[in-house]
Amino acid sequence: MMPIRGAGIREEDSRCQRERATLMSMEVRVNLDEREFQSARQLAGIEEPAALLSYVLREFVRFRTRQELLAMEGIDPEAKAPPRRRPPDFENR
Confidence (pLDDT) at 55: 94
Rounded Cα distance between 48 and 41, Å, is 8
Distance CA 90, CA 93 (A): 9
Delimit the domains of the chain by residue range.
Answer: 28-70
What does R_g of the chain's alpha carbons equal in angstroms? 24
Residue 71 is predicted with a pLDDT of 84
In this predicted model, what pLDDT tens digit does every residue of 25-67 receive, in sequence order? 788 888 999 999 999 999 999 999 999 999 999 999 999 999 9
Q: What average pLDDT does the chain have?
A: 78
Query: pLDDT by residue (tens digit) across 4-25?
Result: 444 455 556 656 555 555 666 7
Strand, coil or helix: 3: strand
Distances (CA, A) of 42 to 30, 39, 45, 47: 19, 5, 5, 8
Q: Look at residue 3 in the predicted model and tell me its pLDDT.
A: 45
